[in-house]
């Protein structure tokens, strides 16, 4: 099923003028393949690309390094030396080594790379798939889907099959969030349930009160790179908030590398083991905890809470309607996150580019997005992850690659002069947007909002009062 993604990736690379290279170590690795037919087929494919010239050898290689590891190390060293902008590979070992070396943000599998290029070169055609909230029993007729086939190995036992397990859980009224591919096939699922005083691990630790259990969390290969995992978490966070669940927990196999990375990035922490699985728990307190970690870590650990004390700066951020609509589609379509056929909305981690003069924005600061031109109102709140200045289009594309809603042409045009790149986490949207007239009347601003504008703590408080948050 990777063939269409690979073909489209190659096509988009050509559209965008991105040069596709192969590392000489890859050819050496291929030539060791004992399957002659497959080896020859792969060599023909690789010959369609240009070889990376002058690739340096990795200093990690010694006489004791195995041939496979030597090739992997040389390929990663080329990335580390910036001989290339990014590495695209399906090799899980190389992905694991890149994570340990600290540059996993520059390595992609085929589908995430294709998604990146689609966002750069076909932004108007990219739409995140819907999330539906359904009863498990509505899915029992679709258990022959390839997505469920991929789950059977984890659930099948000599005593009970996956299908039997699914039917038993369906009878309890359990529900799931699902995402469908373009042809309507289920390609991602998150089964969930509320639990009370749940014993969560082999150590018999108990989560007191109500908790949300993510029983099954699976994103199919065809959905990788489309932020479906983040959308499931967004649904989980909202559900837990509305139902006053104090914790969210999930157990998963150590082999689920992508899922583990995603969960830990959103505040899940390991709490022992559950058989052969790892138990992960996220604190989701109803009341804001006392300020402990820095503002950014606080937002990551205790979402939907975030720090607003006097040590945290607050800014109004103007955003044009076309970018506002792409970043926050649930507002553009006035849709709800839950409900059949509704627009699922955007991912949690986003990117914003501008020419603002200010350089004072810091990680953990709060940003209030002001939609200009048509609505002229403050609609949305986020927490800054990083704020950097760049004047190189390639550097910007690399930095925002997993979050971008900007085309390559947009980025190249902006990068002609120093550009501010803000990566932020979406917190939510105000129940009532605050109009420009209200901002003027309350003396929060004194004139048009044309650039990132710092506001006082008092002004921030008045905005919250006006919004009904």
What CATH number corresponds to the domain at position 152?
Answer: 3.40.630.30
Q: pTM for the whole thing? A: 0.75
| pLDDT score for 131 | 81
User: CA nearest 302: which of 293, 311, 313, 312?
Assistant: 293
Give yes or no: residues 323 and 263 share one domain. no
Q: How would you class 334 by CB atoms within 10 Å of its CB: exposed for 0-12, middle for 13-18, buried for 19 or more?
A: exposed
Q: Which helix (H) or strand (E) holds 439?
A: helix 436-441
Task: Tell me what pLDDT residue 128 has.
Answer: 41
- Judge if 120 and 137 occupy the same domain: no
pLDDT average, residue stretch 250-259? 89
Where a domain ends, among 95, 124, 153?
Answer: 124
Tell me whether residue 72 is exposed, middle or buried, using C-beta atoms within 10 angstroms of its C-beta: 0 to 12, 13 to 18, 19 or more.
buried
Choose among 422, 420, 439: nearest CA to 430. Answer: 439
Residue 181 pLDDT greater than 70, yes or no = yes
What's the whole-number mean pLDDT along residues 324-329?
81
Inform me whether the pLDDT recorded for 333 exceeds 70: no
**Helix H or strand E encompassing 206:** strand 206-219
- When pLDDT is cut at 50, 70 and 90, the band that residue 436 belongs to is very high
Same domain, 94 and 138: no
| Residue 306 resides in a domain | no
| Domain contains 307 | no
Which pLDDT band holds residue 3 (cuts at 50, 70, 90)? confident
User: Which of 267, 283, 299 is a domain's end point?
Assistant: 283
Residues 382 and 451 in one domain: yes
| Whole-number Cα distances in Å, 320 to 71, 124, 354, 376 | 47, 16, 11, 10
- Nearest of 426, 444, 424, 427 to residue 435 by alpha carbon: 444
Same domain membership, residue 147 and residue 101? no
Rounded CA-CA distance 382/399 in Å is 18
- Continuous H helices in 206-318: 228-242, 257-265, 295-302
What is residue 399's predicted lDDT score, i.e. its pLDDT? 85
Average pLDDT, the chain: 87
**Last residue of a domain, which of 89, 124, 159?**
124
The structural domain count of the chain equals 3
Residue 298 lies in a domain: no
pLDDT in tens, 126-158: 334 468 899 999 999 999 888 888 788 777 777
Note whether 280 and 269 are within 8 A (CB): yes
Report yes or no on 148 lying in a domain: yes
Are residues 160 and 105 part of one domain?
no
pLDDT attached to residue 260: 92
Whether the pLDDT of residue 109 is over 90: the answer is no
Tell me the two tokens of residue 140: 């029992």
Q: Nearest CA to 303 among 351, 272, 353, 349?
A: 349
Residue 91 lies in a domain: yes
45-101 pLDDT tens trace: 898 899 999 988 999 999 999 999 999 999 999 999 989 989 999 998 999 898 888
* pLDDT value, residue 332: 57
pLDDT on residue 293:
79
Longest dimension (CA), the chain: 76
List, for residues 357-408, the tens digit of each pLDDT value: 899 999 999 999 999 999 999 999 999 999 999 999 988 988 887 676 678 8
Q: Which domain holds residue 409?
A: 314-467
- At residue 281 the predicted structure's pLDDT band, cuts being 50, 70 and 90, is very high
């Amino acid at each position: 099923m990777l063939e269409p993604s690979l073909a489209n990736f190659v096509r988009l690379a050509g559209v965008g003028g991105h040069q596709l290279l192969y590392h000489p170590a890859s050819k050496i690795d291929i030539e060791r393949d004992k399957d002659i037919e497959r080896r020859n087929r792969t060599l023909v494919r690789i010959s369609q690309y240009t070889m990376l010239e002058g690739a340096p050898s990795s200093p990690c290689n010694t006489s004791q390094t195995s041939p496979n590891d030597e090739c992997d190390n040389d390929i990663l060293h080329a990335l580390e030396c910036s001989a290339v902008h990014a590495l695209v590979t399906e090799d899980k070992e190389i992905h694991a080594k890149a994570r340990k070396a600290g540059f996993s943000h520059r390595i992609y599998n085929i589908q995430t790379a294709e998604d990146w290029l689609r966002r750069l070169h076909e932004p108007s055609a990219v739409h995140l798939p819907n999330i539906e909230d359904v009863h498990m029993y509505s899915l029992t007729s679709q258990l022959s889907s390839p997505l469920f086939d991929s789950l059977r190995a984890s659930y099948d036992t000599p005593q009970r099959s996956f299908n039997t397990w699914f039917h038993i859980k369906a009878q309890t009224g359990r529900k799931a969030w699902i995402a469908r591919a373009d042809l309507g096939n289920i390609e991602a699922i998150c089964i969930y349930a509320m639990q009370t005083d749940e014993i969560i691990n082999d150590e018999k630790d108990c989560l007191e009160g109500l908790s949300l259990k993510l029983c099954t969390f699976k994103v199919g290969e065809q959905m990788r790179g489309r932020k479906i995992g983040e959308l499931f978490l967004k649904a989980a966070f909202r559900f837990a908030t509305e139902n006053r669940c104090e914790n969210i927990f999930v157990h998963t196999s150590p082999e689920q590398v992508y899922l583990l990375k995603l969960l830990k990035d959103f505040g899940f922490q390991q709490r022992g083991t559950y058989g052969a699985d790892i138990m992960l728990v996220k604190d989701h307190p109803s009341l804001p905890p006392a300020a402990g970690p820095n503002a950014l870590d606080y937002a990551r650990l205790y979402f939907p809470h975030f720090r607003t004390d006097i040590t945290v700066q607050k800014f109004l951020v103007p955003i044009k309607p076309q970018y506002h609509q792409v970043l926050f589609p649930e507002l553009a379509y006035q849709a709800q996150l839950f409900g059949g056929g509704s627009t699922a909305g955007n991912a949690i981690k986003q990117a914003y580019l501008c020419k603002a003069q200010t350089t004072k924005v810091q990680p953990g600061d709060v940003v209030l997005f002001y939609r200009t031109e048509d609505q002229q109102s403050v609609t949305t709140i986020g927490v800054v992850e990083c704020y950097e200045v760049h004047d190189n289009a390639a550097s910007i594309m690399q930095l925002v690659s997993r979050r971008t809603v900007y085309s390559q042409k947009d980025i190249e045009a902006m990068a002609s002069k120093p550009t501010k790149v803000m990566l932020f986490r979406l917190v939510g949207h105000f129940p009532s947007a605050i109009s420009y007239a209200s901002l003027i009347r309350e003396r929060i601003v004194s004139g048009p909002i044309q650039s990132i504008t710092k506001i006082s703590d008092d002004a921030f408080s008045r905005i919250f009062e006006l919004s009904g948050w």
